[in-house]
Amino acid sequence: MKKTISVVIIFLLIFYLLFFPSDAVDAAGRGLILWYQTILPTLLPFAILSNIFISGNMFYFLSDILHPIIRLLLPVSREGTFPVFAGFLFGFPMGSRICAVMLSENKLCYDEASVIFAVANNMSPVFISSYILHHSLKAPNLILPSFLALYAPAVLVGRVLLARRRKEKKQHKNTAPGFFLNFKIMDAAIMNGFETLTKLGGYIMLFSMIAAMIHHLPIQNPAIKAVAVGLIEVTNGIAYTSETALGLKHKYLLCILFTAFGGLSGLAQTSSMISGSKLSMKQYVCIKVLLCAVSTGSAALLYPLFA
């Protein structure tokens, strides 16, 4: 089934490039501009630093400081503190990537990593407040309900799933291992960071083209078209939704839906980030669908209180 879908997508992209070359190139350009101007400078430094923190064991010191605070929200171990902090603060797809790296280096247990990578792999607060609410919807008054609707369900689901995880047989040391840093670690961190961000750029470009195809379909209802675009690629969906004649409430709820789900582009990027690890995309998708429904419903209830 996966192979069939992949083949269909490839042929659709080839068809689009051959018969709508101008639109296809424009869509690819918009995706690459988004990657170059926003994603690359925002995520590359953190991708490099997170590699250094993990490989050099420096994340233990940050975890010791943050663990007493983070565990009030999510009952994670000291090792799980860093991917939770990074996933919620710096945003998608760093949460999933850090979980995969720490799992591969035996610095995070599977049971904990499988939950954290699903609930902490969200859009960053900066993206939500700046791009969605300030730039697209012109509704900065909705920042607080947006944060509550998007992050509170993730925390609640995470608490339930983490409470049920298997307890590890080995006990972690109370003291952090000694950290170390050399040029070999830095070189590997830089190369890995660029490789990661290059993959993201490719996915953003391809899914921007797929999202652009929707505009050539005979869909007259702007809400249906917005949903189709947003479920494929979040940024394009938000941009298109903000330009429709829909009311602010409907625009807002659609943007929350896209953001909570992450789009098919987001699923592809996350799958790429955890490639080679034991983390399950099936579980990830199920949790994301659940969070998408709860977040959208919560936003609908909160909107009248802040509009």
Q: pLDDT tens string for the chain (307 positions)?
A: 556 667 777 888 888 888 888 999 999 998 898 888 878 887 888 888 888 878 777 788 888 889 999 988 899 988 899 899 988 887 788 788 889 988 988 888 898 999 998 898 888 888 899 889 998 999 999 999 999 999 999 999 999 998 876 454 444 444 556 566 677 788 888 998 898 889 888 888 998 898 888 888 888 888 999 999 999 989 888 988 999 999 999 999 999 999 999 989 889 889 988 888 889 899 999 999 999 999 999 999 999 998 7
Considering the entire predicted model, what is its pTM?
Answer: 0.84
Residue 133 contacts by C-beta under 8 Å, 6 or more apart in sequence? 139, 140, 142, 143, 146
Phi, psi of 233 (to 5 degrees): -145, 120
Phi, psi of 173 (to 5 degrees): -70, 150
Contact assessment for residue 73 and residue 85, using Cβ atoms and an 8 Å cutoff? no
Task: Please tell me the predicted confidence (pLDDT) of residue 105.
Answer: 85
Among 282, 292, 266, 263, CA closest to 114: 282
| DSSP secondary structure code for residue 154 in this structure | H
Tokens of 205: 């470009």
Measured CA angle at 83 (ends 77, 89), to 5 deg: 125
Task: Please tell me the predicted confidence (pLDDT) of residue 250.
Answer: 95
Among 259, 231, 255, 270, CA closest to 93: 270
Task: Please tell me the predicted confidence (pLDDT) of residue 179.
Answer: 63
DSSP H or E stretch at residue 31? helix 21-34
C-alpha span between 210 and 23 (Å, rounded): 11
List b or e across 63-97, with b for residues whose CB sees 16 or more CB atoms inside 10 angstroms: beebbeebbebbebbbbbbbbbbbbbebbbbbbbb
Contact assessment for residue 149 and residue 256, using Cβ atoms and an 8 Å cutoff? yes
Query: Amino acid identity, residue 183?
Result: F
Task: Please tell me the predicted confidence (pLDDT) of residue 195.
Answer: 86
DSSP H or E stretch at residue 150? helix 143-163
